[in-house]
Chains A and B, each alone.
Chain A
Amino acid sequence: MKPEEQLVWKLIDRDISKSDFHKLQESFLKSKDLRKYYQDCLETHAVLSSYTRPERNPLPFPSVQQEKKPRPPAWLGWAAAVLVFAYFGLAPTKPSQVAISSTEHPEWRGTQLSMGDTVPSQPLYLKNGKIKLKFPSNTFANIEGPAYFQVIDDQTLEVIEGKVDIAHQGKPRSFSLLTPVGEFIDLGTRFEVIIKNLERQTTVLTKVTEGKVEFASENKSKTKILSEGDKFILTGTHRGAPAIIQEWSGTEEDPDLIDPQSPSADTTHGQNLKTPAFSAMDLMLQGNLKAQMKYSMIEAIAQSIDEKAQILIDAEKVFSSEQNISFAEAAMPEIEAMAHAIVEGCIDFSKLSFWSTCQTAEITWFEHKDKSGKVTRRVPHVQHLKIPEEGNRMLVNLERIKSWLQSVHLIHEQKGLGWVSSFGCPEDGKLIYLRRKNDIAALSDTIASIKRNLE
C-alpha cells in the first residue's frame, strides 16, 4: 500500500494529522488516480457502513415479507420531509371524497391522517403500517408503508413507492392507479402492485388476482391488458418512456426478485428464505436497460433457432433409412437452409458476445448467519462457471449446424460433384459445393468470433 493510499483511509476515518492532511491535499492536486482512489474508497466506506448498519442503507426498501422493517436512512426522511414540507407550502389542496376506511399501526411523516379522515390531494408519506382508502368509485386501496402516494382526484391514486393492493368493484375504467412507469386502468378487478425505485429505473411488480386491468405506458400510447393470474414485472424510467413488460415467473414468496442485489433480500427469521426465480443473466444485466433489451432480442433469436434445430435433433434420434443413407444426407435441404439463413441472413451473429450465447455464470448465495447459526439473510451473487453450460443454446446450435453441414459436405466429396444436381451435372454440383464450403467457413468464423467476444 502506498503511503498516500494509507492517508486516504485515515482521512475517511477523520483520523489524520493536520500535516498529513496537507501532504495528502498536495498529492490529490497532482494525481488524478489518487483522487479516483479516494472517491472509490469513500463509496466502499459508504457500502460497508450501510451493509453493517442497514438503517443507513441508501436504498433500504424492505421486502414485502419482512416482519421488522429497517428504518429508512436519515437522508430519505430528510428528503421526504423537505419534499412534503415544500410541496405543502406551495401546492394548493382541494377537498376529495376519498377517505381512510381502516388503519393498521400507521406511522406518518408530514401530514398525519386517522381513520375516517378525508384524504387531501397532496403527496403523503406513510412510513410504516397499513391504511385502506375508500374511493367514491367503489374502489378500495390498501397501502402498505413505506409508501409515497397522492390521491390525485376521486378516481385516481398515484403511488411513487410502496405496495398497494387495489380492489375495484365499480364501473370499468372509473379508477386508475398511476405509477412511475405507467398507468393501470381498472376494468373491474383486484390487483396488487409493488413499486420500487432503483437507481436507474423503476420496477413495478404486478399481480392480477381477479378480473382484468389495462396497463398504459408512453403517455397512454401503448397499452396491454393484464388478466386474472397474470404476473408481470414492468420496468421503466417514467410514464412517458417505454416500459419493458416481462412475465414474472416467481411466486408470491419471491420478494427478493424486486431487487435481488439489495439488502431487501433480508428475511427476519430465515424460515422464509426462498430461491427466487431469476437467472444469473438477470442479475448481470440488472440496471442496464440497453443490455437487457439487447439480450432479450438475442434470447428470442436463440429460441427460434433452437426450435428449428430441435426438430432436426428429434428427427435424427428416430431416423432410420431403408436406402442406407445418412441423416445428414436425408435432411440436407433443411440443414443447408438453416446454415445459409445464419450466414447470409439479416443478423451478424459474429458480433454476439460469448456470454449471450451460452450460460457463463450461475447464481450463488452469500449467507449471513446470526449467533445461533441461523441464516438471517441471503444475497445473490454471480458466480462465473469454469465450464460454460448450454444456456439459451445459441452457441451449441451454431456448432451443431456447422457439424451437420460438414457431414453433408463430406458425403458430397465422397459421392462426386454431380451428386446434388437433379440432372447429375457436375457444374451444378460444384456451385452448390462451393457455396456450402463458403457457408462452413463463415459459420466457423462466426463461432470463433463469438468465442473471442468475451466482454
Chain B
Amino acid sequence: MKENEDYSIFVNELTKAQPKMRGYVAKLLANSPSTDDVLQECNKLLWIKRTDWDTNTIFLKWAYRVCYFQAMAYCRDKSRERLLFNPELIEMMGQENPDEHTHSEREVAMEQCLSKLKEPNREILLERYRNNLSVEQMAEKEGVTANALSQKLLRLRYKLQHCIQENLKSNPA
C-alpha cells in the first residue's frame, strides 16, 4: 500500500510540474525546438529515479536539477547546433528557478492585459500565435512589410510583458 501511495504522489507531482519544467528546459536551451524531446528524457529519468525522491522535499527542486543535467547533456551532444548557450551561462541560468507564479495566474494576468490592448493590435498578436504563421505570411495578409510587422509585434509583446509583470507584482504568488 505504501508503494501505491508513493506512486500516486509521484505521478501527481510529475503531472503538476510539467509546465514549470518545460519553461525551465526551454530557458536553458534558448527555446530550441528540441525542448519537448529533452523534457521527455527528463520525465523518463525522473520515473526511473522516482524512489530517490523524498516525498517530504519539494518535487520541483529535484525535477529542476534533473532537467538541468539533461539540458547540459543535450548541449554536449548537439554542440554544433546554431543557437546554444555556453556552459557557463547554462549553469548560471540553471541555478535561477522560474518564479512562483503558476501558468494559470500568468494567464489571468495576460488576459487582463490583452483586454487593455486595442482590438486590432490584440488580434494581430493573437493571430501570430493562433495559426503559427510566419511574420512574412502575416505581413502579406495584413498588406504591410515584414519588417514593419515584426517591429509592431515586438512592441506589442514588450507592452504585454510589461503589463503582465506589473499585474503579477500586485498579486504576489
Contacts and interface: CB of A to CB of B under 8 A. Distances in A.
A48 B4 contact: no
Nearest to B113: A44
Contacts of A141: none
A240 B14 CA distance: 18
A30 B107 CA distance: 30
A240 to B, nearest CB: 8
Interface string B47-75: 11000000100000000000000000000
A180 interface: yes
Most chain A CB within a 10 A radius of its CB, from B9, B15, B33, B85:
B15
B161 A41 contact: yes
Given A46-B26, A86-B47, A366-B115, A180 B103 contact: no
A11 B86 CA distance: 15
Contact of A259 (B22, B30, B39, B104): B104
Given A9-B154, A16-B83, A46 B103 contact: yes
Contacts of B4: 150, 152, 158
Interface stretch (A98-106, A111-119, A194-202, A418-426): A194-202
A280 to B, nearest CB: 12
Interface of A: 1, 5-6, 9-12, 14-16, 18, 21, 25, 28-29, 32, 35-53, 58-59, 73-76, 78-79, 82-83, 86-87, 123, 148, 150, 152, 158, 160-161, 178, 180, 197-200, 202, 238-240, 259, 261-263, 284, 286-288, 366, 379, 381-382
- Those 3 A-B pairs whose CB atoms lie nearest each other, nearest first: A58-B19, A261-B104, A52-B129
9 contacts: A1-B158, A43-B103, A46-B22, A46-B103, A58-B18, A59-B19, A82-B44, A158-B4, A199-B16
Interface of B: 4-5, 7-9, 11-12, 14-16, 18-20, 22-23, 26-27, 30-33, 36, 39-40, 43-44, 47-48, 55, 82-83, 85-86, 88-89, 92-93, 96, 98-99, 101-108, 110-112, 115, 125-126, 129-130, 132, 135, 154-155, 157-158, 160-161, 164-165, 171, 173
